[in-house]
Chains A and B, each alone.
Chain A
Amino acid sequence: MLRPEQMRRLLIAAPKGEIDTIIRELYRHNVYHIEDFVPESESPEALSIGHPLPEASDAASALIKVRAIENACGIDPDNVEVREKLPASKVRAMIRTDLPAILEEVEGLVGSRSRLEARQKEHEQRAKELEPFAAVPLDLELYRGYTRFTVFTGHIAHDVVIDVPHEKYFSDKVDGNMIVVVVQTEHREQVERTLLDVGFQVIPVPEGTGAPADHMRAHADEVQRINGEIAAVNGKIASVCDRHTDFLVACDELLTADVERAEAPLRFATTEETFITEGWVPDDRADRIQEALERATNGRIYIEELEVDDDARVPVEYENPSFASPTQVLMDIYARPRYAELDPTLMVAIVFPIFFGLILGDVGYGAILLALSLGLRKFLKGDEGRMLLKVLSIASISSIIFGILYSEIFGYALPWPALIFSRHLNIGASAGGHGPEITGLMLLAIWIGILHITLGRILGIANARKFHHGRHAKKAIIANAGWIGTMWGILLMIWAFYAIPMMPDLTGFPVAIAVGVVLLVAGILGIAQENPLELVEIPTIISHVLSYARLVAVGLSSVAIAMVVNYIAIGMMIQPQLEAITPIGVIFIIFGVLVLFMGHALNTALGLLGGGLHSLRLHYVEFFTKFYKGGGKKYNPFGMKSKFTEE
């Protein structure tokens, strides 16, 4: 909590004979994050990169086959639901016996499909070539075989007059028009010039005899027939794939594991007889893996715990209570925390839903989003997507709670008055009541901003020790305290001059001005002693605090849209028609219902975007910039959680 998981740095050295056992053991435990070995020099005495285990190439080539079938079938192992776990030994046996047959079957089917598609293309092409000729009432054999006549066939811009004896057919029924001219061969050049003047383009006469239209129809029928055949082949491919999906994903998993294991030595340092690897293990599991390794190798292994010197090299794994862990996906979008610094995931997990609810406080929209996030869980299979949906469902529950407090459902009031600040705008003819309490809401937002930013700066003080050492750490702490001092100094002075509702009234206490000035000056000095250039950032104190006003503004705009939609759809279109129903009135009512649904659907989407993005932005831009650096490496243990197979 508030810190990433503690890591220990292990160095493992063992004779090469044990490499297979050790890799297997490490892979099985799935906790060891390998630090890739980078050779420093090329000299023969230095350590060199290891060679892959002998089974690497077999496993890799089998994996390529499996992936090829998966590709043809459109199977993505990430999106496959686990039906039952297959035992690894059975899968291994099936890879030898069944896999070649499946590959052959799928390859055969895919091959015949592409042959059919090629034939279909050919027929389509032929039909297209024949199309212009179908517009001319001539059989194909009449176009050729003359000795004393020349035949011109082609596209042309418009009909032309030819002043030699000729036979001519023109049609504007096809794209680019069609012209056929037959003249005696001695007039050929003259006619050609006439034709070229109006943009004549030659089309070669297709092979064959008989009426072109009949040929076209035959080709179209053939295309239809092949379409049917392709559909049949597709059906066969789908059924083969469906039958073997479980086996294929199990193969994929098993072989991927084999390849990863076999290629692990590429990440180790080796000498002639031994190998060395360095890596990271979570603190609570370090002892267990050390014991397991020693047992597996009968003590023919040397493990040393090294000191952690540079926190940028340590892989980072979150450690959060389960309700906060989905929020890690929001952290990863920004940056994973560094090993030494505070992990703010927990704070984001608590504050983000509150901000979301403050913005989109509406029982109706909250319920829609909750249903959506629960419903989509079935369709979204990726880990990240699921985590986002969990964040969304927590946020929408908060939205429902705030909806009850604001007394809002789809822009209408619930049967009770708003329990906190009212956001009911005066929109529409039936509007009443005393309207929204904008000032109260705005001041609430400002208060949230002041506290949130102060929290950020306090965390900045806590982080300063982790980022810097010695004198610089002290400077950073003073600078952060300076920022807090400057902000509260300004606040005290404002309170001393103006009486603001919901804020302390210090107008009667001149001493507050003095305290404010002292805090302000001390704060500015505190900021300047770290870096004088930082002083140009002082206006951000005001702009960042005011930025929290979006909690109110974005929320009010979504309330306004909801109320306007209700007013247009119900107040203006549906209700007046209901009083005396006429045939035209029914159309109005249907249209009104349509407007109502479209409007609220749009507003739900806008509310999701507005509520989500703006809450997130307040965290990323206003909160994180005060203390958070990020940029930690992801903890990626060597191993795999088997989904489809079991040992």
Chain B
Amino acid sequence: MVDVGMTLEMVEASQLGMRALGAALAVGLTGIASGIAEMTIGSAAVGATAENRDVFGLVLLLTVIPETIVIFGLVVALLLLF
């Protein structure tokens, strides 16, 4: 697999690119996952709020719970980049 024509700079640049790609995947995929999780919670939360206004604070909180997933993704991405 090793291409003889590759210089050190090219290797370094492609490593940098791979890191950026990895960071992007980490944020992007976890973002999708959080979105899917929040989708169901969010619709249930809106339903519950329509029934009873008082639960608004609680369901708002339940809605942000899956955000942990994307935050872990963001942490991984930041650690990759810096």
- Spell out A's residues near B (CB within 8 Å): 333-334, 435-436, 438-439, 442, 546-547, 549-550, 552-554, 556-557, 613-614, 616-617, 620-621
Contact = CB atoms under 8 A, between A and B. Distances in A.
A547 B65 CA distance: 11
Nearest to B58: A333
Contacts, number: 45
A549 B61 contact: no
A553 B71 CA distance: 6
A438 B78 contact: yes
Contacts of A621: 65
Contacts of B61: 333, 613, 616-617, 620
28 contacts: A333-B57, A333-B61, A435-B82, A436-B82, A438-B79, A438-B82, A439-B79, A439-B82, A442-B78, A546-B72, A547-B68, A547-B71, A549-B71, A549-B72, A549-B75, A550-B71, A552-B78, A553-B71, A553-B74, A556-B74, A556-B78, A613-B61, A613-B64, A614-B67, A617-B64, A617-B65, A620-B61, A621-B65
A471 to B, nearest CB: 35
A438 B23 CA distance: 14
B48 to A, nearest CB: 14
Contacts of A620: 61
A617 B58 CA distance: 10
A617 B61 CA distance: 7
B41 to A, nearest CB: 13
A442 B60 contact: no
Contacts of A616: 61
A621 to B, nearest CB: 7
A200 B35 CA distance: 51
Nearest to B78: A438
B60 A550 contact: no
A621 B78 CA distance: 24
Contacts of B68: 547, 550
B64 A614 contact: yes
Given A546-B72, A620-B61, 18 more contacts: A333-B58, A435-B82, A436-B82, A438-B78, A438-B82, A546-B75, A547-B68, A549-B71, A549-B75, A552-B75, A552-B78, A553-B71, A553-B78, A613-B60, A613-B64, A614-B64, A614-B67, A617-B64
Interface in B17-74: 57-58, 60-61, 64-65, 67-68, 71-72, 74
Contacts of B72: 546, 549
A204 B79 CA distance: 77
Contacts of B82: 435-436, 438-439
Contacts of A552: 75, 78
Nearest to B64: A613
A232 B45 CA distance: 43
A212 to B, nearest CB: 45
A33 B9 CA distance: 78
B75 to A, nearest CB: 5
The 3 closest A-B pairs by CB, nearest first: A333-B57, A438-B82, A553-B74
B74 to A, nearest CB: 4
Nearest to A438: B82
Contacts of B71: 547, 549-550, 553-554
B20 to A, nearest CB: 13
Contact of B74 (A334, A436, A557, A614): A557
A557 B74 CA distance: 9
A547 B57 CA distance: 21
A621 B66 CA distance: 12
